[in-house]
Structure 1
Amino acid sequence: MKLGDGVEAAIHCTTMLAGLQGGAVMPASALAEYHGVSASYLVKHLKQLVAAGVFVSIPGPAGGYRLGRAPQDITLLDIVLAVEGDAPAFRCREIRQRGPDAPDAFAFPNPCGIKLAMLRAEEAYRAALAETRISSLIRDYSETGDPRDIARGCRFVEANRRP
């Protein structure tokens, strides 16, 4: 399964916004700068996160984005579904019923075994994403990340947050 680049950007932005305190916000331009992506590209994904309730958007010159829920209440599945949508990755087109001399649909009373296997795999994948909370990613990184990079992120948040 291939996820779009927007998922990675969305997850990183979520972890960065988790560092904001007291209702502060961060502009999309700062988030885009820090992550090395174009602001117009990122805004599309930020709007999807707002629509899903993961982020809150504050309009105006002093506006920006902040988390819509506490980091422990946001999962990777929340972010993936906001950015990619909730359609299953595998879409069975019943090709087993096509081709030369294929019997009619009545010859296939049971669901396609391949479809069922793929849906089970996706269910397991989604369950794993649902178990992973933003707060645990932040905790793990604070324990294992390079202190220079952690300090860089903290400095950037402090310099670019809007009260």
Structure 2
Amino acid sequence: MESALHCCVVLTSTAEPVPATRLAELHGVSATYLAKQLQALSRADLVHSVQGKSGGYVLTRSPAKITVLDVVEAVDGSEPTYVCTEIRQRGPLAAPPEACTAPCAIARTMFAADRAWRAALAEVSIADLRRMVGDDYDMDVMSEVGKWLRS
């Protein structure tokens, strides 16, 4: 997910398609690994693959219209991060199924945390991340990234 988020931010720095190999080189990750991340983003219609000599990846829409949650769910799926297996119904002190009609305190807590996490990610766009990444540096790093990608 980290590489996918970085790629989406980087793709805001140029209007030209960026080859996966160039993105992998920029981030110091395996091109094979990154290709899987980009395929997941493509399946979710967050990036588009442009074929040909000048091919590569571009965002499919404005960075302001792509949320961090969109990227996370494209790569990791939309299933909750916590799965309750009703452990309280197992072992020597197992509760009977009829006593477990509602989620336990642990499940309620974890489900609430997952909802809060997803809500927070839905509030941040790729455009927001681009701005925040830029704020982390004393120079216009996104312009420098764009120049490097085009070189």
TM-score, scaled relative to structure 2: 0.92
Quickly say closer, same or farther: Cα 1:10–1:72, change in 2 above 3 A: same
Amino acid at match of 1:19: S
Alignment of 1:49-64 (within 5 A): 49-64=41-56
Does the Cα contact within 8 Å between 2:64 and 2:127 map onto a contact in 1? yes
Distance 1:58 1:52 in 2: 16
SS at match of 2:13: coil
Paired residue type of 1:111: P
| Partner deviation per Cα, 1:57-77 (whole Å, 9 max, x = no partner) | 112332110001110001110
1:145 CA drift (Å)? 1.5
AA at the equivalent of 1:38: S
The separation in 1 between residues aligned to 2:146 and 2:95, in whole angstroms, is 64
* Aligned counterparts of 1:141 and 1:111: Cα–Cα separation in 2: 40
Residue 151 of structure 1: how far off its partner (Å): 4.8
Task: Confirm whether residue 19 of structure 1 aligns to residue 13 of structure 2.
Answer: yes
Contiguous gaps of at least 5 residues in structure 1: 1-6
Q: For 1:1-163, what aligned pairs fall within 5 Å after superposition?
A: 7-21=1-15, 24-147=16-139, 149-159=141-151
Aligned-residue sequence identity (percent) comes to 42
Aligned-residue CA RMSD in angstroms?
Answer: 1.6
The secondary structure found in structure 2 opposite 1:65 is: strand
The count of aligned residue pairs is 151
Equivalent AA in structure 1 for residue 75 of structure 2: V
| Amino acid corresponding to residue 30 of structure 1 in structure 2 | R
- Quick one: distance in 1 between partners of 2:2 and 2:112? 24
List per-residue Cα deviations over 1:122-147 (Å, max 9, x = no partner).
10000000001111121223344231
In structure 2, the partner of 1:3 is: none
Q: Deviations over 1:102-139 (max 9, x none)?
A: 24211222222211111011100000000011111212
What letter corresponds to residue 47 of structure 2 in structure 1? F
User: Conserved in 1, the CA contact under 8 Å of 2:48 and 2:59?
Assistant: yes
8 Å CA contact 2:13–2:145 kept in 1: the answer is no
d(CA) in 2 for partners of 1:110 and 1:148?
52
Asked whether the 8 Å contact 2:14–2:146 carries over to 1, the reply is no
